[in-house]
Amino acid sequence: MYPATGFSNGHRHQPAGTFMDKRLGSGRRERARSRATRAGPRDSRDPDQRCDQKPPPCTDFDVAYFNSYAHVGIHEEMIKVVVDVGCGTGILSIFCAQAGAKRVYAVDASDIAVQANEVVKANNLSDTVIVLHGRVEDVEINEEVDVIISEWMGYMLLYESMLGSVICARDRWLKPGGLILPSNATLYMAPVTHPDRYSDSIDFWRNVYGIDMSAMLPLAKQCAFEEPSVETIAGENVLTWPHAVKHVDCYRVTLHELESVSTRYRFKSMMRAPLHGFAFWFDVEFNGPAISPASNHVTATFAESSNDQPMDYSQRKKRPNPNEALVLSTAPEDPPTHWQQTLIYFYEPIPVEQDQLIEGSVTLSQSKENPRFMNIHLEYTSGGRSFVKESVMR
């Protein structure tokens, strides 16, 4: 089902900054805590100058003026105002400037913004790229923007992500019909088998250089599997087609939606194997201007898919038409990324037969201790036995 992509026993790391920045900088990016609103401009014109009055006749100068706007180039110059939310070192902002953006606002709350400003200067782009050191919620931009870009995704998509800041930027500055990149995201989950990982972490203690150290097993399981683990698995570790946990439409998602995400799932195992836990990963889509967010049929397909009619990953990633969405996937069958996959391991594996049902629910919620932390409540039933696994991703 999934081609192998290799395996590493890496555990959870703490992210800070963008993937382009290799997690540079110690400051954590700020999440929006409230939605900003702006009042529209009042009509302060003299009543005699308003549009309900009889317009003056069209002159030859007017015709020449209107004709000048028939050229596409002038519209390109007018529409390319970009905000880079969580700019890090500024690399994405520079890419935008090189692609022809008239102006780019590069926003970051951490001290990496100081270095970003120096990078912009070194590339002679200070007239185009404006670095703003502060939270999106606090900085001021005195114009609407055409495009918002951001590498906001965290592990398991929503962990410690800065999607809230993207929402704030959208509500404050994005023009009607403006573009958000990435524009959509989908979080997936699937049951997995991973004997090698379990053996490396647990079975090692059964016999250490001929010494019975099985008394260490309970502590070893707690240390290895109490918290979610970020690591790379292979497609062959996945037992079923994935289930879509949450679809995020960046044009419409609200802060309230992100506080708690719940879903019920129902899987049918494709093979006989020990069930060691669940893996989570995500895709993000980069929709071009030709795809309307309001009528994106791709989004509807993702949201409505089920295990009875599984999604065809390979078909979804083919892009014969340039106007179709470009997809970046962190799935096990795709080339590894720094996000890898997030694994929720059981303390004890569950034997599963081919075609055996695995069903239950999962709830991902922001921690009251720290909204950037994620509480994970996982309920699962298989073979007539029910279990609950709770963990916190800190």
Spacing of C-alpha 229 from chain mean position:
18
Task: Note whether 307 and 267 are within 8 A (CB).
Answer: yes
Helix, strand, coil content of the chain in percent (nearest 5): 25, 30, 45
**Strand ranges, E, within the chain:** 81-85, 103-108, 129-133, 145-149, 174-181, 184-192, 229-231, 243-249, 260-268, 273-286, 326-329, 341-352, 357-366, 374-382, 385-393
Task: List, in sequence order, every residue forming a beta bridge with 187; answer none if it has no partner.
Answer: 246, 282
Q: Return the closest-CA partner of residue 84 out of 60, 109, 63.
A: 109
Please report the sign of the dihedral spanned by the C-alpha atoms of residue 90, residue 282, residue 201, residue 214. positive
- Are 146 and 79 in contact by the 8 Å Cβ rule? The answer is yes
Tokens of 65: 């003026």
| DSSP letter for each residue of 295-342 | G-HHHHHHHH--SSS---HHHHH---STTSPEEEE--TTSPP-TT-EE
Query: Does residue 30 carry a catalytic annotation?
Result: no
Using the structure block, give the residue that is written with the tokens 């000048």.
Answer: 68
| 151 has catalytic annotation | yes
Distance CA 380, CA 387 (A): 5
Closest CA to 278 of 202, 188, 385, 351: 188
| Dist. CA 170–CA 38, nearest whole Å | 12
Cα–Cα distance for residue pair 126/116, rounded to 1 Å: 11
- From the candidates 30, 151, 231, 285, give the one annotated as an active-site residue: 151
The one catalytic residue in 160, 304, 333, 348 is 160
Going by their DSSP bridges, the two strands 174-181 and 145-149 should be labelled as: parallel
> Which residues carry out catalysis?
151, 160
